[in-house]
Amino acid sequence: MKRMKAIYPGSFDPLTNGHLDLIERGSKIFGELVVAILRNSEKAPLFSVEERMEMLKATTKSLGNVRVDTFEGLLVDYVAKQEASVVLRGIRAISDYEYELQMALMNRKLSPNIETVFMMPADTYSYLSSRLVKEVFQLGGSVRGLVPEIVEERLREKVNGQSKLKKAGRE
Ligand code: PNS
C-alpha cells in the first residue's frame, strides 16, 4: 500500500474533522494521497472551490504525502490522469453503505483496474456531516470540535457576510 497513490474525492463543503481523520488515516496507509474537490457539483455550495481548497491546504500542510487538487468530470478519468489506482472513501454508518456501494460498483464498471478502499473515521465523528455542520452553524449552534479552527472562522465570516447582505437588502 505504501507505494500506492490514492485519491480521496469529495465535496468538502466544508471540511469536517471526520474528513480530516480519514485523511490522516489514509496518509499513513498510502504512499501518496490526493484530496480531490469536485468542481462541477450540481449542489449550490456554501464555499467556493477556492475557499474549500484553502481550508484543506491549511489543515493538511503538516502531512507531507498529502496534496489537495480539484477535478471535474468523471472521477475514474481523473484517477487515471493522476496515475493512481485507488479511490479512498469514508463510511460512517450503514446508511452510507448503499450510496457508496453504488458509486464503487459504477466506478468499477467504468474502470475495472481502479479499486475503492473504504475506511471508517473515528467513532466520535460517526454522526458528523458537512450538511449538518452548515445547518447547525447557520442556526446559531456550536460546531466547536467538529471542524478545524480555520473552518469555524470561515463559517463565521461567511454567515456574518450573508446576514449583512440580507440586512442591506432590507434597508
Ligand atoms: O462528498 P461527496 O459529495 O459525497 O462526494 C461525491 C463524489 C465527488 C465522490 C462523487 O459525486 C463523484 O465522484 N463525482 C464525480 C462524477 C462521477 O464520476 N460520477 C460517477 C461516479 S459513480
Please state which of the ranges 83-87, 119-123, 157-161 shows the lowest mean pLDDT: 157-161
| Span 31-66, pLDDT tens digits | 999 999 999 767 789 999 999 999 999 999 999 999
**CATH code for the structural domain at 5-127:** 3.40.50.620
Mean pLDDT value of segment 143-157:
97
pLDDT surpasses 80 at 171: no
Which cell numbers in the block locate residue 135? Answer: 445547518
Reported as half-sphere exposure (CB side, CA atoms, 13 A), residue 26 has a value of: 31
Active site residue 92: yes
Q: Cα(36)–Cα(135) distance, rounded to whole angstroms?
A: 24
Which cell numbers in the block locate residue 90? Answer: 469514508
pTM, rounded to two decimals: 0.94
pLDDT surpasses 70 at 170: no
Residue 75 CB less than 6 A away from ligand 1: yes
Which residue has the CA at smallest separation from atom 4 of ligand 1?
10
Q: Cα(116)–Cα(54) distance, rounded to whole angstroms?
A: 26
Active site residue 43: yes
Please state which of the ranges 7-11, 42-46, 55-59, 93-97 shows the lowest mean pLDDT: 42-46
Active site residue 131: no
Mean pLDDT value of segment 100-108:
98
Phi/psi of residue 14, nearest 5 degrees: -100, 180
